[in-house]
């Protein structure tokens, strides 16, 4: 029996292959966004697709996020499968009315008569010196809204396979791709052809504490787990992957087992996804905990441009290690 060797690729290439595969599989699928065609996408994710699929399916749009999203909603209701690209989640605020008041509500307000199978991809996060208006992490805001699914692929596998699952969903799905991951490399097992977009995944098993994280913070959490292991502390890493709906079952099982929890979230602490997770754990798992819940989040400032200040603002490996040590072996 011949087994295919794992494919090694970048996160960017995994995203590109996912889009290309969707376009090949379904003639109703098309991509729409700023610079997705001639320029190949601001992060080069759609590079080469215009030449292969033509301008009817790879559509460059004006700089008008609300218009792009509204057109995508209309196309989805009309039976197409649009993939809308918004350059950065900071700019998605210009489309907030379309996402929150239309995409998320139409199926409910029509009594299920109209589905909105719309997928919106957008870059998120800091770490590339793009300054405040291009570097924030707003996925936690969208995880607040019923009616949409919010995904945050943190691995090559999820970058490659989450899009297909999102397009199969009859309701709107938002995919947040962290900017520091586009150049990351990893292997994709050819035997894995689909992923579940309702479940979190344990990326590393451990006995002493659970680290809950997602997206661009996942590699940092794994690096922190490596440092902790060298000190005799075994951290279990839970990749949330799906920020709405949260997979309580996997989260609770892990924290219930380790009895300690650090939440790593690149969003600001106040009103964040980390706050929601901490509240749920306090409400439902309080008597299982042996220590307070700790959070490692971005400092509550607009993301700075200067590299050393940006690093100081964002969660870092050392911050995660310190928080974990404080729970397991407080000095």
DSSP 40-63: --TTSTTTTHHHHH-TTTEEE--S
Structure tokens at 307: 């590299």
Helix-helix angle 156-168:11-25, to 10 degrees: 30
If pLDDT is split at 50, 70 and 90, which confidence band does 4 have? confident
Tokens of 253: 């099982």
Determine the average pLDDT of the residues in 297-304.
Answer: 95
Give dist(CA 246, CA 244) in Å, integer.
5
Count CA atoms within 13 Å of residue 284 on its CB side: 13
Query: DSSP string spanning 235-255?
Result: EEEEE--EEES--HHHHHHHH
Q: How confident is the model at residue 331 (pLDDT cuts 50, 70, 90)?
A: low
Q: Tell me which H or E stretch contains 293.
A: none
Preceding omega of 102 cis (within 30 degrees of 0): no
Cross-sheet strand order for the sheet of 58-60: 58-60, 29-33, 81-86, 119-124, 173-178, 149-151, 242-244
Question: Which listed CATH number (3.40.50.300, 3.40.50.970, 3.40.50.2300, 3.10.20.30) goes with 8-188?
Answer: 3.40.50.970
Are the beta carbons of 8 and 185 closer than 8 angstroms? yes
* Encoded tokens for 98: 């379309």
Delimiting residues of CATH 3.40.50.970 domain(s) in the chain: 8-188
Q: Give the tens place of pLDDT for each residue, 209-233.
A: 999 999 999 999 999 999 999 999 9
Q: What are the residue numbers of the active site? A: 65, 134
Tell me: pLDDT of 1 over 60: no
Separation between Cα atoms, residue 139 and residue 266, nearest integer Å:
10
pLDDT digits (tens, 9 = 90+) for 121-178: 999 999 988 888 889 999 999 999 999 999 999 999 999 999 999 999 999 999 999 9
Architecture of domain 201-326: 3-Layer(aba) Sandwich (3.40)
CATH 3.40.50.920 intervals, the chain? 201-326
pLDDT tier for residue 330 given thresholds of 50, 70 and 90 = low
């Amino acid at each position: 029996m011949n087994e295919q060797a794992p494919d090694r690729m970048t996160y960017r290439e995994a995203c590109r292959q996912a889009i290309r595969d969707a376009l090949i599989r379904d003639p109703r699928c098309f991509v729409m966004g700023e610079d997705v065609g001639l320029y190949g996408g601001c992060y080069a994710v759609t590079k080469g697709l215009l030449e292969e699929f033509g301008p009817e399916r790879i559509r460059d749009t004006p700089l008008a996020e609300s218009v792009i999203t509204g057109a995508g909603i209309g196309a989805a209701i009309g039976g197409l499968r649009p993939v809308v690209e918004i350059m950065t989640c900071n700019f998605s605020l210009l489309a907030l009315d379309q996402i929150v008041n239309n995409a998320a509500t139409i199926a409910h307000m029509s009594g299920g008569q109209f589905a909105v199978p719309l997928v919106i991809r957008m870059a998120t996060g800091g770490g590339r010196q793009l300054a405040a208006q291009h570097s924030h992490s707003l996925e936690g805001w969208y995880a607040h809204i019923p009616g949409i699914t919010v995904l945050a692929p943190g691995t090559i596998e999820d970058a490659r396979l989450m899009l297909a699952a999102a397009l199969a969903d009859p309701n709107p799905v938002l995919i947040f791709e962290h900017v520091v991951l586009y150049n990351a490399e990893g292997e994709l097992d050819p035997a894995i052809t689909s992923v579940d977009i309702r479940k979190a995944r344990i990326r590393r098993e451990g006995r002493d504490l659970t680290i809950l994280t997602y997206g661009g913070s996942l590699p940092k959490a794994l690096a922190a787990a490596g440092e902790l292991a060298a000190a005799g502390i075994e951290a279990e890493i839970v990749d949330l992957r799906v920020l709405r709906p949260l997979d309580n079952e996997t989260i609770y099982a892990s924290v219930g087992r380790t009895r300690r929890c650090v939440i790593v979230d690149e969003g600001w602490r106040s009103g964040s996804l980390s706050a929601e997770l901490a509240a749920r754990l306090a409400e439902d798992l309080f008597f299982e905990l042996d220590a307070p819940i700790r959070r490692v989040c971005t400092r509550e400032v607009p993301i700075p441009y200067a590299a050393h200040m940006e690093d100081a603002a964002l969660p870092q490996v050392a911050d995660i290690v310190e928080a974990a040590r404080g729970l397991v072996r407080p000095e």
